[in-house]
Amino acid sequence: MAKDVAQGMNWLHCSNPPIIHRDLKPTNLLVDDNWTVKICDFGLSTIRRAENITDNGIAPGTPLWMSPEVLQGKPLNEKVDIYSYGIVLWEILTGIEPYAEHDSYNTFVRAVCIEEERPEIPEDMHPSLASLLQSCWTAKTDERVTFEQIIALLDEAMVDCNVPDPFAAQLWKENWLGKDEVTFNKFVTVLCKALEVQLGRDRERNLDYKCLKAILAVEKDDSFNVNIERFGLLIKWFGPLKQKRKNEDLTIFSIIKSAMQEPWFHGDLPRQNCEAILSDHLKKKGTYLVRLSTTDPIEKTPFTISKVNKKGTINHQRVYVNRDRSGYYIVIKTKDGKDKKIEARGEIEALITKVTSELGLKYNCPGRKYNELFITNKVEGYLPSPEDEDSSGDN
């Protein structure tokens, strides 16, 4: 949404002569059926024919989104829209109304223009976004970024905010910066080259390939794609892309495949669906499954163990990952009410094995969607890999 607004505003500012909107705020942004944002209400817009514009009388616009130069009646240019955009972006990121603490126009103007007060940036906001906000609403107009620069910065931030692994983030930036998604086959070709992994010519039948596709790819318009958000989730679940383990030949492919082979692993199964499946086995206490977490704080708890407990009800146990990704652990309550940490080094399979008795995990919950991946089918003939489609040579 933020990028849609920036692209629309960039078109206005790049017109000849430039068009200044002058009233950029959330109520002047419309969302269509495809969640694309459109800019509207050009009643206060101005064509800038000179270097700067000076208002005569009361400045038009809405005070909360007015830049200091507008509030003070000083000469202005299209950088007033940049300031307004900064306030709008802050609202998009926080969901909070700006300057709600001010109930007096005069004190508000003094705070913004003289004291250079701006909306408070949350501590947990990504540094790239925090920096962008400050570059939009700085008091010095010549130091404010342009919308062209904002679009580029948003493209970078889109990757940085979604993909926590620096190596993985750089991989996306070098190949698909500015794109939200890419076809799965193109993604795998680039990934294998970066990791120096060989899947073989007939990779559609390669188990590593099929497992990665089942976890990562999103079906769209009869094709399978990888989007930034899903790529980021993969890293949070199984990453980083480059594994650093002593005396082990591990890749992101082998780690994913190993987990998916386990009969208790059900992948990204939503909690509601998980409970629906387990509810069919309430009489079989100890039935359990392990699923991927898609909610915060996902970077700390990438997995959840869901089971039918001794009382015949369903409960969920968060699985935490060590900061250095050396292993996983759970925290349970003992009979005396104290917290007990149970940890296992290595992959998720090691932890599940270790906590089986402690948590009363007895029966793998049936109905997982990955079973068919591990059924070997004999296929006659040669199946070309996607990278061979454009090849005209004989092989």
Answer whether 319's CB lies under 8 Å from 348's CB: yes
Instruction: Please say whether the beta carbons of 312 and 285 come within 8 A.
Output: yes
The Cα 191–Cα 215 span in angstroms is: 15
Please give the torsion angle defined by the CA atoms of residues 364, 369, 375 and 379, in that order, rounded to the nearest 10 degrees. 180
Q: Which residues of 212-227 are buried (b: 16+ CB within 10 A; e: fewer)?
A: bbbbbbeeeeeeebbb
The CA-based dihedral angle spanning residues 328, 334, 338, 342, taken in that order and rounded to the nearest 10 degrees = -20
DSSP state for residue 141 in the 8-state scheme:
G
Q: How far is CA 136 from the centre of its chain?
A: 23
At 221 the three-state DSSP class reads coil
Q: Which two tokens stand for residue 41?
A: 């209400």
Among 25, 71, 70, smallest CA distance to 52 is for 70
- What are residue 303's DSSP bridge partners? 292, 319
Of the candidates 195, 293, 300, 292, the residue with the CA atom closest to the CA atom of residue 244: 195
Q: Which of 4, 23, 160, 336 is catalytic?
A: 23
Residue 6 tokens, joined: 């920036």
Q: How far is CA 1 from the centre of its chain?
A: 14
Burial 81-110 (b: 16+ CB within 10 A, else e): bbbbbbbbbbbebeeeebbeebeeeeebbe
**Helical (H) or strand (E) element with 39:** strand 37-39
Known catalytic membership, residue 23: yes
Sign of CA dihedral 353, 359, 364, 368: negative
Output DSSP code: residue 296: S
The region, left, alpha or beta by phi > 0 then psi within -120 to 50, assigned to residue 365 is: beta
Q: Strand locations in 300-365, DSSP E?
A: 303-308, 314-321, 327-333, 339-345, 363-364
Catalytic residue set:
23
